[in-house]
Amino acid sequence: MNRFKEQRIAHGYKTQSDLAKVLFVNQTAVSQWERGATIPSPPLLLRLSNMYDVTTDYLLGNDSTAHSPSSPNGVMVPVLGDVAGGLPMLAQENIIDYEEVSKDLTVCGDIIGLRVNGHSMEPRVCDGDVVIVRLQGDVDTGDVAVVLINGDSATVKKIKKDADGSIWLIPNNPAYDAVHYSPQERDDLPVTIIGKVVELRGKF
């Protein structure tokens, strides 16, 4: 049995519509997950894994072990490696580690870790460091965010928004230039905010 269907039934959602109402999606989306036609977006996948108390890998059929490493003091969230192909997908081949975050942090939204690749945010954020990211589709000026460009390149930058809807991606490292995207470029490329960086885990 498809694990999305298996877990839905095991947790008392008798119909696909019952689950769809809780997730604020349509019943067709749930049906597609259970038929294997599509998979949920990363935020929905994380929410389902939390609801069912199983790993995302287990739901996707990548792992026979249902539960992730646990900690009495917090919640272990997956750290994704250098992800090719765009928006990080929580599949076995992309999870390189787990980081512990406070339970209070997970109450505010879905959380992942992402390993930084590059030097543009030095000296504060170095190549190989892990940023803890709350998945959300928008951030404020001054926030540090993970941004997806052209569907296949994820980057960590400070955000500056202009009144006309354009956006600046600003590095910390003065050796790198800020990049500006007009509203039209944001739509056409597209330029998509994945989430806000809420913590930094420096690596040595």
Catalytic residues: 120, 157
C-alpha distances in Å from residue 26, one per residue of 36, 37, 99 = 16, 15, 33
115 close to 95: Cβ distance less than 8 angstroms: no
CA distance 54 to 65: 8
Q: What is the DSSP letter of 92?
A: G
- Beta strand 144-149 with 153-161 is antiparallel
Rounded (to 5) percent helix, strand, coil in the chain: 25, 30, 45
For residue 190, whether the previous peptide bond is cis, meaning omega lies within 30 degrees of 0, is yes
Q: Residue 159's beta-bridge partner residues?
A: 169
- H-run or E-run covering 105: helix 103-107
